[in-house]
Chain A
């Protein structure tokens, strides 16, 4: 079965420091991969997505992610974190050929300290 694993439940990072959030997937075919961000009490907003082509994808808010097929990973990175990046981050894989469902990881909560 397809699944997404986010190994880190909670990460604390200093403002201005770099951030990397890990995501591993299990899927038989070439996956459609996504990163979403959720601010407290809000819905989810798409940061970036990968379908094919260049394995390093750029997203909004200065985020990027790299697809590594050999490691079944799609890690999210940001070179310099801002206090407004404190949120919960979800990795997701698109599954289903007709239904276009997303399977989400458990999420990683990011705390930014001054």
Chain B
């Protein structure tokens, strides 16, 4: 069966420090991968998605970047965190076509202080 792992579960970082959040998927190949951010009362905002290795699409201009160095690995990064980067970050994988749902990781709670 397929599983998705996200880590760390929680993270407290000072303003200006770098960030690296990792997401890996097991049990499937060539998944579509997604990074969402959830801010209180604002639902889920799609940040990045990837349909293949090295293929990254950004949905909103921001302080973050994403990379997909391997088929089942998706990394969210920042060189210098801002206070506004605080939130709950969710990684998800899915298949081409909406017949299969998105499968979400358990998320990373990031607090920038």
Whether, in the assembled complex, A32 has its beta carbon less than 8 Å from a beta carbon of chain B, the answer is yes
**B21 CB, nearest partner CB in chain A, Å:** 14
Contacts of B99 in A (CB 8 A): 51
- Beta-carbon nearest neighbor of A33 in chain B: B98
Residues of A within 8 A of B94 (CB): 100
Counting CB contacts under 8 A, is B87 at the interface? no
Known contacts A100-B32, A100-B98; is-contact A43 B105 (Cβ 8 Å): yes
The answer to whether A101 touches B41 (Cβ under 8 A) is no
Query: Is there an interface contact between B57 and A46, defined as CB atoms closer than 8 Å?
Result: no
Please provide the 4 A-B residue pairs with the shortest distance between their CB atoms, ordered closest to farther.
A43-B104, A106-B43, A32-B98, A104-B44
Q: List 12 A-B contacts (CB under 8 A).
A: A6-B43, A36-B104, A43-B105, A43-B107, A44-B102, A45-B104, A51-B99, A99-B32, A99-B51, A100-B97, A105-B43, A106-B43
**Which residue of A9, A43, A49, A94 contacts B41 across the interface (Cβ within 8 Å)?**
A9
Per the bound structure, the CA–CA distance linking A41 and B108 in Å amounts to 9
Partner of A46, one of B49, B59, B102, B105: B102
Cβ of A58 within 8 Å of any chain B Cβ, yes or no, is: no
Q: Does A42 contact B (CB under 8 A)?
A: yes
- Decide if A34 is an interface residue (CB 8 Å cutoff): yes
Kindly identify which residue among A43, A99, A103 contacts B90, using a CB–CB cutoff of 8 Å.
Answer: A43
Q: Which residue of A lies closest to B99 (CB)?
A: A51
Find chain B residues with CB under 8 A from A98 CB: 51
Chain A residues whose CB sits within 8 angstroms of the CB of B6 once the complex forms = 43
A106 touches B42 (CB 8 A): yes
> A36 to chain B: which residues have CB within 8 Å?
104
Residue of B34, B49, B90, B98 with most chain A CB atoms under a 10 A cut-off? B98
Q: Are B96 and A49 in contact (CB under 8 A)?
A: no
Q: List CB contacts (< 8 Å) of A3-42 with chain B.
A: 6, 9, 32, 34, 36, 41-42
Tell me how far the C-beta of B2 lies from the nearest C-beta in chain A, rounded to whole angstroms.
13
Question: CB of A102 within 8 A of chain B?
Answer: yes
A49-B101 contact in complex given A42-B107, A106-B42, A107-B43, C-beta closer than 8 Å:
yes
| A102: nearest chain-B partner, CB-CB | B102
